[in-house]
Amino acid sequence: MDKDKVIEVAKDAKNKSNKDLTEARDLLLLEFENTKKLIIDLTHHMDAVEEYYTFINKELGNRVK
């Protein structure tokens, strides 16, 4: 099922078959879980970048004094 079909199912869920609803739900759940994992991974990456930046910036500050 593609994105357009999921949108179509969501807009007219009352008139869609159980099969269509189940497929759309499963696809959305998978998309949700993948997006959540990506956000968590990016958050960890961002935290590491910030930590390294702070360390290097502090070292530069100590050397400039």
> In which domain, by residue range, is 50 found?
3-64
3-state secondary structure of 61: helix
Asked if the model's pLDDT at residue 65 lies above 90, the reply is no
Tokens at residue 18, please? 């159980």
Q: What is the pLDDT of residues 5-44, one digit of tens each?
A: 999 999 999 999 999 999 999 999 999 999 999 999 999 9
The span from the CA of 1 to the CA of 23, in Å, is: 7
The span from the CA of 61 to the CA of 20, in Å, is: 60
Residues ≥6 apart with Cβ < 8 Å to 20 = 1, 5, 9
Instruction: Provide the domain count of the chain.
Output: 1
Q: What predicted TM-score, i.e. pTM, was given to this entire model? A: 0.77
Residues ≥6 apart with Cβ < 8 Å to 21 = 9, 13
